[in-house]
Chains A and B, each alone.
Chain A
Amino acid sequence: MYAYDEIDQTLVDERVAEFRDQVQRRLSGELTEDEFKPLRLMNGVYLQLHAYMFRVAIPYGTLSSAQLRKLAHVARKYDRGYGHFTTRQNIQFNWIALKDLPDALADLAEVGIHAMQTSGNCTRNVTADQWGGVAPDEVEDPRVWAEILRQHTALHPEFSFLPRKFKFAITASDHDRAAIKVHDIGLRLIRNEQGETGFEVLVGGGLGRSPFIGKSIKPFVRGRDILSYVEAILRVYNQYGRRDNIYKARIKILVHELGIEKFAAEVEQAWQEVAEGPLTLDDEMIEDIRSRFVYPAYEKLPAMPDELRAAAGDARFEAWRRNSVAPHREPGYAIVTLSLKPVGGPPGDATADQIDAIADLADKYSFGEIRVGHEQNLALPHVARRDLPALWAALDALGVATPNVNLVSDIIACPGLDYCSLANARSIPIAQELTRRFANHETANLIGRLHVNISGCINACGHHHVGHIGILGVEKNDQEFYQITIGGRADEDARVGDLIGPAVPYAEVADVVEDIVEAYLALREKPEELFVDTVKRIGVEPFKERVYATR
């Protein structure tokens, strides 16, 4: 966990007081909505279809149990008893009253949580691999760097009024669990031949109306230079970024229009001006941040304890363990993913009672720490392997042990037309129907890793472009229709999926997805060939034929 200092706390507390005053002036009519809107957005408050929505940041997805309990408290006291974990390591509350928001923010501030950087044309909440600090395959903890970036960019005047929102994501492993290629700046922590750590820097990725995969702008930037280098990128963006046309304002468009070489040359030139300046990090500063990440005192424990051996005979436990338990850098420990994708449930939602119970389990089994990933699931990052059977039983009772992590029913979905004022079509009921269709674990397991991502409109909050199967809601004559793409992915080999044919009506989406999956099962060369790999090998045509032949 990261230990915030007093400067952070003062900042957070001051912001609450400021917002309380702003809300009060809005409710008394002293501020018009036009004046107030940018102020509420700076505090994560949107207006959705039915109510105000409140988006709270979970920087790099790390939470303490005390913080998690406070989120449950906000859900219970000010909202309708649940929260929604999003694809950007945020949590959203859907039904909060404007009058209650200052109190909610004040309650969250008690545990160092806030809503800054969750909205507006600023550098948004910096996201990172949710397994940061515990993954066995990482170079080093990416959250240290996410925190350095967070501190530098938060409320930075130059980065608070950018042409558009700006998103960073960081990974420290070859296997990208942070979807860095679909972010404005993606950073991959690597070690060079001299043993120095630094970053491969990617720029210009993003989803939305025009999806782009980020391009590598520099193969290696030393850790100490990362702030100055990022500053150079943002300066070029600030200078050339289109402010006249909201659809062209993202950095991905600038990179695309200038070309990566020209863009890189501009950045290189801008960097000359700031490199070796005050933005250069010294080792002491890096060490100071690093030292604030406190790791548990792990014990030396066996990787295969008796408890685990004994539970291996339980088929339900084994089904869960196979998909939900990942290796930890300490052999006697594991990373446990909690599925927020129960059969028939809205992806990413958790009730206040569940959240509280998860906080208790984190205290009991994971040194009081919880992680939030972009797939809208949670994780307990430090579970002793001997505790896995007991933990599983508790998670199962809570309804967060559906054995579907990374399987076809582990769906990413945006709120869609059930909540969102920008939506064209619903997302959640489609996800729910799909989880019912694929409720049989044996079948899902046979299908293997398959990510279905759903967005209710072109803004792509549900990452549909990079779903192995992507579903995008569109509107035709006041009816809900869905475009379906296949072959997208959000990992180290990220790509945008290909459309398989005309949009289909609401009632047919689940059938089409079933058809696609059946086609895959028939077309794959061997059971180990994943869905995306089959699509890569044979293209979309064979799928198109099977899906549309009968329609």
Chain B
Amino acid sequence: MKKMLNTLFIESPKSSLRMEGESIVLRLANGEKKKLPTLNIDSLVIRGSVYVSSRVLAYCAKHGILVSYFSVNDRMLFKIDRSLAGSNVLLRRAQHEATKAENALPVAKSIVMGKILNQHHELQRYKREYAKEDRRLIEDISKLKHQLRYVELAKDLDELRGYEGVTSSLYFKYFNDRIRKHKREFFMKGRNRRPPMDRVNALLSYGYQVLYHDMIGLVESVGLDPAMGFLHRDRPGRMSLALDMMEEFRSLVIDRLVIRLINLGQITPEDFDISASGSVRIKDKARRIFLEGYVDQKRESYFHFYTGEKLKLPHLWHVQGQLLARYLRGNIEGYPAFVVR
């Protein structure tokens, strides 16, 4: 059966989740009740003041539904794993070996190459549609492309991260240009987070957080340890492998979504609270719009040149996890990061 990585987001304040018979029931603060379709749900994201009964948690553990809990400030506080199912010590040992600093470079390179190629794709798309004559852009695209050669020759992780940094700044340089609505309010002053200092960064951070959650689910569903990464090094509390897996998808999934929501006017400047200190928060209504857009995005199909299949995003993610596991277990000689075409 296909892993669809369907995620249910429960964010309504003062709501509760309880078991009623064999189904999970959501009760909203106003007393309204909703039965949740557990059959197709792979994970549950709970945010803020939501009451969850222990029987719901037991049900999720038993049925392999990942539960993540986020604070109202979007920090992941805990997650509940899929019990012991799928835990595979052999794969973990291989992962441990392969993620050691002296062995991590090949996969780290693949991740960065995937990321760069996908960023390149986004800029090309933008150029084709809106900026055919922009000499500066054309030049930067070719600079970005050049970084690929350096990546291939990188001798260590630090050098690799340097090239990644260069391409990222070339890529983000055009982010404001790609926004074509409310340009005065939707303007990013570089990448900043925790707290985000402008609306665009607030949307990006929220999107990356949601993607991060899905990547943890992806990594765990193939029996890998989300904390042991290649490009991102060990840090307690950080799911480095999930961050690694995000890299090839950031521009394709979240950046595209943010730009689309703004350009279609689905999210407007009024959808944010701006503190006197300058930090920016997304209002609840806009979060819902964002998540709906995210779910729509997941239904899109992408052609995967390596497997030769057209895959919906959740299935594609699962395939990437499988490919990484196959590499670790010696079935393929490298990790083919996903490149959009």
The yes or no verdict on A and B being binding partners is no
Residues of A within 8 A of B (CB): none
Residues of B within 8 A of A (CB): none
